[in-house]
């Protein structure tokens, strides 16, 4: 039987953050550094200048952005800082609607090379409605021509709490090369038809925890790319959106292994998928292992349980060639609710490297469509089954 275990990384972050809070010193007020907060004036330079003052403090400091509406262009909060730093947003930040102002940027707000940071509060409004109509990802297969709302690059031993991301032009948040980063009480909101607006994307990072958050968006609520290791996602509500996904993996050479993913106590409502693992056909060799999905509630969800090793969303791949990403040690436990599609469970593994050690335990997914009961499908895998399994596992093949 596959068993899961908790990740201790969040405990280290909480201890570190408590030390920061007790020792906090100077407060740098962005308005006292020239920011207007009137929703018209470009406050980018004033806020960046205030950050630089706080970041250069030899003792723990706080950057305060008071209540107000701040029109800001692309901003980078660049470290390393000399001491732990707190960033408190009490106002709303608004991105430019003119894409020409963001053409050279892959992120609107970027936190880079910062250690021991606490980021809290505030609304990050990407004003992405105009940009969504210019997204040509489906035609070109290139989905990075618009800026991400908030990027965390090489951020370590830090906590992000109570912030909101609204109407991002592309992904809402991107976590890259980070370690020991906790995000809690995050709110993400965009329409279900906003293209490629993943809620939180994780790549090449370890010790990441996402908890007690609400994500409504037009793509994956949370997605984990290559190199995602020791990731915990718990008490997250997802929908609308495409669910919580590992991958897609195997599109590029030299991808790093995905290991140690724990998704538990989450709720999915009217999402395109539930929890899924997706890899491209004709892929280079890769590793994806130690994945655990537990105690999940599905409400009108398309294919609540999905492993898809023939993921090819735009038809631009060699669909007949097998994926070489090896998937192993995967468990689905305590997953209940309703499926909006007849295929409630689909585990379609690679014929080149079949999945190993996949477990289904205590699954009850009802389908109430006009074409009979729900079914499950399995290819190139023989899962271990424990407890009640409904629909009966692997009674049909695609």
Q: How far is CA 199 from the centre of its chain?
A: 5
Per-residue model confidence as pLDDT tens digits over 5-58 = 554 555 555 554 554 444 457 999 999 999 999 999 999 999 999 999 999 999
* Whole-Å CA distances, 310 to 141, 163, 203, 270, 282: 16, 36, 21, 24, 9
Q: What average pLDDT does the segment 163-177 reach?
A: 97
Per-residue model confidence as pLDDT tens digits over 209-241 = 999 999 999 999 999 999 999 999 999 999 999
Residue 76 region, left (φ>0) first, then alpha (ψ -120 to 50), else beta? beta
Query: What does R_g of the chain's alpha carbons equal in angstroms?
Result: 22
- Find out whether 163 and 182 touch, Cβ atoms under 8 Å: no
pLDDT at 22: 45
Per-residue model confidence as pLDDT tens digits over 296-349 = 999 999 999 999 999 998 777 887 899 999 999 999 999 999 999 999 999 999
Residue 309 region, left (φ>0) first, then alpha (ψ -120 to 50), else beta? alpha
Q: What is the CATH number of domain 16-135+144-166+173-186?
A: 2.160.20.10
Rounded Cα distance, 271 and 389, in Å: 22
Per-residue model confidence as pLDDT tens digits over 141-154 = 565 578 999 999 99
pLDDT at 100: 82
Rounded Cα distance, 239 and 269, in Å: 5
Q: What average pLDDT does the segment 261-273 reach?
A: 98
* 242 included as an active-site residue: yes
- Find out whether 386 and 362 touch, Cβ atoms under 8 Å: yes
Residues 6+ apart with CB under 8 A from 354: 380, 381
What would the DSSP string read from start to end of 263-332? Answer: EES-EEES-S-SEEEEE-TTPPPEEEEEEEEEEEEEEEESSSEEEETT--TTS-S-TTSPP-EEEEEEEE
Instruction: Kindly list the domain boundaries of the chain, sorted by start residue.
Output: 16-135+144-166+173-186, 258-398
Report whether pLDDT(132) > 80. Answer: yes
pTM: 0.93
**Positive/negative CA dihedral, 330, 333, 337, 338:** positive
- Find out whether 326 and 363 touch, Cβ atoms under 8 Å: no
Q: Which of 185, 242, 253, 292 is catalytic?
A: 242
> What percentage of the chain exceeds 70 in pLDDT?
90
pLDDT at 20: 44
pLDDT at 19: 46
- Find out whether 19 and 240 touch, Cβ atoms under 8 Å: no
Weakest mean pLDDT among 102-106, 168-172, 193-197, 264-268: 102-106
Q: How confident is the model at residue 104 (pLDDT cuts 50, 70, 90)?
A: low
């Amino acid at each position: 039987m596959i068993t899961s275990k908790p990740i201790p990384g969040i405990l280290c972050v909480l201890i570190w953050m408590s030390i920061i809070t007790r020792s906090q010193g100077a407060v740098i007020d962005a308005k006292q550094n020239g920011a207007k907060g009137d929703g018209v004036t470009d406050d980018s330079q004033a806020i960046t200048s205030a950050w630089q003052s706080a970041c250069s403090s030899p003792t723990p400091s706080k950057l305060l952005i008071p209540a107000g509406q701040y029109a800001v262009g692309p901003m980078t909060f660049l470290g390393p800082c000399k001491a732990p730093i707190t960033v408190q947003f009490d106002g709303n930040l608004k991105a430019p609607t003119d894409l020409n102002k963001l053409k050279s940027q892959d992120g609107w707000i970027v936190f880079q090379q910062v250690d021991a940071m606490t980021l809290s509060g505030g609304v990050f409004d990407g004003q992405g409605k105009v940009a969504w109509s210019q997204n040509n990802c489906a035609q070109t297969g290139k989905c990075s021509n618009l800026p991400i709302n908030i990027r965390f690059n090489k951020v370590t031993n830090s906590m992000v709490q109570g912030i909101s991301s609204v109407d991002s032009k592309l992904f809402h948040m991107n976590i890259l090369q980070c370690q020991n980063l906790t995000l809690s009480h995050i709110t993400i909101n965009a329409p279900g038809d906003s293209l490629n607006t993943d809620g939180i994307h994780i790549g090449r990072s370890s010790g990441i925890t996402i908890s007690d958050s609400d994500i409504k968006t037009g793509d994956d609520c949370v997605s984990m790319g290559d190199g995602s290791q020791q990731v915990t996602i718990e008490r997250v509500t997802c929908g609308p959106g495409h669910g919580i996904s590992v991958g897609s993996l195997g599109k590029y050479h030299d991808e790093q292994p995905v290991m140690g993913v724990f998704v538990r106590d989450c709720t999915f409502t009217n999402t395109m998928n539930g929890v899924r693992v997706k890899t491209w056909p004709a892929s280079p060799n890769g590793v994806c292992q130690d994945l655990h999905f537990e105690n999940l509630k599905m409400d009108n969800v398309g294919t609540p349980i999905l492993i898809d090793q023939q993921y090819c969303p735009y038809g631009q791949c060699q669909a007949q060639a097998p994926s070489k990403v090896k998937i192993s040690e995967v468990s689905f436990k305590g997953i209940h609710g309703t499926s909006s599609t007849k295929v409630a469970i689909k585990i379609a593994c690679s014929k080149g490297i079949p999945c190993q050690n996949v477990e289904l335990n205590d699954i009850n997914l009802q389908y109430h469509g006009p074409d009979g009961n729900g079914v499950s499908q399995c290819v190139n895998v023989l899962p271990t089954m424990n407890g009640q399994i409904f629909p009966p596992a692997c009674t049909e093949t695609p």
